[in-house]
Each structure stands twice: as structure tokens, then as C-alpha cells.
């Protein structure tokens, strides 16, 4: 199993697990909370068949990566991504993130630039700024995040039930676009994540990316479901065309947060068309 070492916590190394498949122009896929790189299973085969080199990895605290109690902020997450890009010596890469992974893409480009990157894609984006403030009235109130953290502290497994029901809009899509088995698979992956990371990631959702977005100087694809309950489209995706120079914004009608699973045809078509 390949890893890149990104730091230390006391006597232990912090290692990021990754997978590297195929040849051709590289595409790096960054997963959402609280899943792992394996959650891209409906996109990876399509990219490989199109002749791309496909790299997935697990964010610290999740999947097969180390589970430290430090480094849960977007500066560190972006540095972890950079360590992987540098280790693999990627050039001409496409960075594609889903949900929390869109924060890594945005902060990476805002901090390290696009020397190794040719395009970027955001699915169910967290930018520009999710927290409601005086200068960000379309954001989500602080009390909502506080409530999430209280739920996690009380019973993180019950939190996952609440989260995934809204992640997939189970009340509307159960039996058609999300099966019990797929829902349970997501729950099992989440249950194996670090309890510390499960809680520590919530404050990162309030990161302000507004200073990073104007620095994105590569073509950007944004795809989001119109019924995204995790990251409401009016507070996120629909605001991005005014903040990024070269952007293609696509709405998936009726799509929930994880459109990569529930609406793979629409997502894959948009991504492949963007990569051509």
C-alpha cells in the first residue's frame, strides 16, 4: 500500500494513503467527508477508460490514512495534497474535489498556484464561504454548525445516520438512486474514520475561501445538485461564477449532495467533456 509521509505527531509518522492507476494526463480525486478515496468508484473506471492516470487518496483521519489529532485545517489539508503532488512529480494535472475536497482544490491553487495544474473541478462545492456573517449574509448560521458538533459529541453514529440521509436525500431517492446497501457501505466507511477527525473537520467547513478564488487561473468546472442539503447551492455553487474568471457551472436538477453516486451519468459526462 503506497503512502506519502506528511508529518509527525509525537513518535508516530502521519501518512497519507493513495492509489495511483493508469497512464496519461493525471487526474487527482479528493473525496468528501466522512468517506475515503474509494468513494470515487463511479468516476475512476470512466477516467481510466478515457486514458487518464487516476490518483485518489484518503484525507488524514479517514480511510487508510493515519488518524492524528493535529492538522485539521485547510492550510494543512492543502499541504498534504501538495506533498502527494510533489512525491508523484505530477505535471499537467487536473485537481477534482467533492464536498470537503473542493476546499483542498481551492486552497491549493490559492496558496501554491497552478504550475503543476491545468484544470480544476469542484463537485458539491464548499467555497466561497459557508458561515453566515455580516459581510456574508447568504451563509449558514453558526448555530447550525454548533448543533452538528453537539450531535457528534453525543453520538457520532447517530450523526452519521442524520448526515447520510441528507447526503443522499434518502426520503426522495431511496430505492431509485440510493440503495440500502450503498447507504450502509458509506456508513461503514464513516464509522471507521477517526472519531477525533469526525468532529475536528466541522469547524473547517466555516473556512473563508474568498481570497483564494480570484487566484484560480486555470479553467474551473463546478457541478452541483439543485437539492443539495449539505452545502446549499444558493450559498455555494451559484455564487462562484461571479468570483472565478474561467468557470463552467452546471446544475444537476434534483441532485442531492453526493451526485457522483446518485447521478453518475451527468457528473461523468460533465467531467469528460471538460477534460477534452
Q: Identify the pLDDT of residue 5.
A: 98
- What average pLDDT does range 3-15 have in this prediction? 98
pLDDT single digits (tens) 144-194? 999 999 999 999 999 999 999 999 999 999 999 999 999 999 999 999 999
What is the chain's mean pLDDT, rounded? 98
The count of structural domains within the chain is 1
Residues carrying an active site annotation: 99, 228, 257
Q: What is the rounded CA–CA span in Å between residue 74 and residue 105? A: 10
Q: Identify the pLDDT of residue 58.
A: 98
Indicate the pLDDT class of residue 1, thresholds 50, 70 and 90: confident
Q: Identify the pLDDT of residue 221.
A: 98
Q: What are phi and psi of 264, to 5 degrees?
A: -65, -30
Q: Cis omega before residue 128 (within 30°)?
A: yes
**Cα distances (Å, whole numbers) of residue 128 to 15, 66, 101, 235:** 29, 29, 13, 8
Q: Are 26 and 53 in contact (CB under 8 A)?
A: yes
Q: Domain range for residue 175?
A: 3-275
In this structure, what C-alpha cell is assigned to residue 235? 450559498
What one-character DSSP code corresponds to residue 31?
P
Which of 20, 17, 14 is closest to 3 using CA atoms?
17
Phi-psi region of 131 (alpha: psi -120 to 50; beta: other; left: phi over 0): beta
Which of 78, 117, 105, 74 is closest to 213 using CA atoms?
105
Indicate the pLDDT class of residue 31, thresholds 50, 70 and 90: very high
Indicate the pLDDT class of residue 208, thresholds 50, 70 and 90: very high
Which residue(s) pair with 20 in the sheet? 55
CATH number of the domain enclosing 40:
3.40.50.1820
Which of 110, 154, 112, 106 is closest to 130 using CA atoms?
106
Please state whether the predicted TM-score (pTM) of the whole model is above 0.85. Answer: yes
pLDDT single digits (tens) 89-144? 999 999 999 999 999 999 999 999 999 999 999 999 999 999 999 999 989 999 99
Angle at 93 between CA 224 and CA 247, to 5 degrees: 35
Amino acid at each position: 500500500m503506497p503512502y506519502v509521509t506528511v508529518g509527525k505527531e509525537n513518535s508516530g509518522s502521519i501518512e497519507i494513503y493513495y492509489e495511483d492507476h493508469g497512464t496519461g494526463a493525471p487526474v487527482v480525486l479528493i473525496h468528501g467527508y466522512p468517506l475515503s478515496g474509494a468513494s470515487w468508484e463511479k468516476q475512476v473506471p470512466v477516467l481510466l477508460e478515457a486514458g487518464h492516470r487516476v490518483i485518489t487518496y484518503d484525507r488524514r483521519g479517514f480511510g487508510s490514512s493515519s488518524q492524528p489529532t493535529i492538522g485539521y485545517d485547510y492550510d494543512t489539508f492543502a499541504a498534504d495534497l501538495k506533498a502527494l503532488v510533489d512525491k508523484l512529480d505530477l505535471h499537467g494535472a487536473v485537481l477534482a474535489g467533492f464536498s470537503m475536497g473542493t476546499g483542498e482544490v481551492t486552497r491549493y491553487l490559492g496558496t501554491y498556484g497552478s504550475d503543476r495544474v491545468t484544470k480544476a473541478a469542484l463537485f458539491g462545492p464548499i467555497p466561497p464561504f459557508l458561515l453566515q456573517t455580516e459581510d456574508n449574509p447568504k451563509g449558514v448560521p453558526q448555530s447550525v454548525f454548533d448543533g452538528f458538533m453537539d450531535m457528534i459529541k453525543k453520538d457520532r453514529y447517530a450523526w452519521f445516520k442524520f448526515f447520510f440521509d441528507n447526503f443522499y436525500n434518502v426520503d426522495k431517492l431511496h430505492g431509485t438512486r440510493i440503495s440500502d446497501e450503498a447507504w450502509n457501505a458509506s456508513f461503514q466507511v464513516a464509522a471507521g474514520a477517526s472519531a477525533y477527525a469526525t468532529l475536528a473537520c466541522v469547524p473547517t467547513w466555516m473556512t473563508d475561501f474568498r481570497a483564494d478564488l480570484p487566484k484560480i487561473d486555470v479553467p474551473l468546472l463546478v457541478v452541483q445538485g439543485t437539492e443539495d442539503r449539505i452545502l446549499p447551492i444558493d450559498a455555494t455553487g451559484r455564487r462562484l461564477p461571479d468570483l472565478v474568471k474561467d468557470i463552467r457551472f452546471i446544475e444537476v436538477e434534483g441532485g442531492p449532495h453526493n451526485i457522483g453516486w446518485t447521478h453518475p451519468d451527468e457528473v461523468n459526462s460533465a467531467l469528460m467533456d471538460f477534460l477534452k
